[in-house]
Structure 1
Amino acid sequence: MTKGREQNAAGNEHEGKGVESRSTAAGTGPSSASPRAPSHAERARTLARAARFGSLATMARDPEGFPYASLVALATDARGRAVLLLSRLAEHTQNLLARPEASVLLLESPIVGEKLLEHGRVTLIGACTAVPPEEAPECRALFLAAHPDAATYADFSDFSYYRIEPRSLRYVGGFGRMSWVDAAAYARAEPDPLAAFAPRILEHMNDDHAASILAYARKLAGIGDATDAQMTGVDRYGIEMAVTTPSGERRVRLAFDAEIVTREEARKALIEMAGRAEEG
């Protein structure tokens, strides 16, 4: 399958099999048009912004031509490029000096639970080269903001800043949600503004408002035989749930009526959805 075939005619990446899209406005049943969801470019940018470590793959010098993977600290800049502070003595740096072709695997944060393959990850593929001297101060500030402890060695003479310029990206958001992402689309995409609050929102809703989530599933998603439901995701456009039924688990997405930007807006939207579910 070519990269282009994993995107639809509008250029939006597919969300994968098994995720049902629902409208909260109608109260039941699928919407006539699928509710908006983050594109894979947006999901990749959101994931990359939060990443602080990654697995860097370089082309080994010995044995020549084989991938060499190592753990590195990193930060991402305003265009989603990975910025690394590398020692010239490190094996991966020596590999890069010989050949700049590289990739870095970034994992969704926080990395918790046993089902790691259900978590998001993105691989940035491109040339990893030393940052020009005039751009080093900006990279230094960016990197130290993400890794304050690096200040103890950041100015050592053998350390320099490197940056991966993505040429292509592979995004995987769990089973059935994956695609190649265009580098230009990735650079243009905006990270989700709720990402920093999402874990707390999910914990609060699942721990304290389980009845409301079940009502979302039964009334807003139209799954009348739902016996349990858990919120598994929240973003600027809506929420996602894992819904338990007698016939098995179903994954459902519900859209907000409007794009959400702040934590307070998310709280109000979830309360409004609960009110509609109770009326249904």
Structure 2
Amino acid sequence: MEWPIEARVTLLGDVYPLSEDEQEWAHKQYIAKHPHGLSEQWGNFHYFRMQNISDIYFIGGFGTVAWVDVKEYEALQPDKIAIDGGEHNLKELNAIFSKPLRELLASESEVDDAALISIDSKGIDVRVRQGVVWFLFFDFLAKVL
């Protein structure tokens, strides 16, 4: 059984429906991101915008939970590696390095599987399966990009 790291966040704030002229634009954005989405099946599917974020609650896994300062969050810029094809980069990196990584780790003990599961400018997260699943976290010495 695999246990992926699935960080999540709860945003609390004021939510309003988009105006009628913005609904079509939002729908095109949604279909571009989720081409097999279910919105086509619902006649009353509408899009909304969160105007003001009042609170942010982060759950990162492994007991990591925290309230995030809204002003700090709003001042942040997206991570360049994550937004510039992070998922695609992971697939390519795993195609190249998953087997050598597994072999390297297996030199110390038996390893069933090893894969990069997350990458950003601060580091890489690796899932290692040795009967049970273990997670390794590698921080870069300096921020990349």
Q: CA contact under 8 A between 2:3 and 2:133: conserved in structure 1?
A: no
CA distance in 2 between counterparts of 1:217 and 1:234 reads 19
Name the CA shift for 1:160/1:193 in 2 (closer, same or farther; >3 Å): closer
The corresponding residue for 1:251 is 135
Instruction: State the TM-score, normalizing by the size of structure 1.
Output: 0.36
CA distance in 1 between counterparts of 2:110 and 2:14 reads 49
Bigger share in strand: 2
- Any idea what SS the aligned residue of 1:204 has? helix
Could you tell me how far 1:194 is from its partner in structure 2? 1.3
Could you tell me how far 1:179 is from its partner in structure 2? 1.9
Instruction: State the TM-score, normalizing by the size of structure 2.
Output: 0.63
Q: CA contact under 8 A between 1:206 and 1:213: conserved in structure 2?
A: no
- Any idea what SS the aligned residue of 1:260 has? coil
Q: CA contact under 8 A between 2:15 and 2:48: conserved in structure 1?
A: no
Percent identity of equivalent pairs: 23
Displacement over 4 Å in runs of 4+: 159-162, 215-219
Alignment partner of 1:178 is 2:65: yes
Provide the aligned C-alpha RMSD in A.
3.6
The corresponding residue for 2:41 is none
Give CA deviations for 1:166-212 in whole Å, capped at 9, x if unaligned: 11111223453332211112112221111232211221222332233
1:257-272 paired onto structure 2 within 5 Å: 257-261=141-145
CA distance in 2 between counterparts of 1:169 and 1:216 reads 40
Q: Which runs of 5+ in 1 are unaligned?
A: 1-113, 151-158, 262-280
Q: CA contact under 8 A between 2:57 and 2:65: conserved in structure 1?
A: yes
The corresponding residue for 2:34 is none
Q: Which runs of 5+ in 2 are unaligned?
A: 31-45
Q: CA contact under 8 A between 2:27 and 2:47: conserved in structure 1?
A: no
Number of paired residues? 124
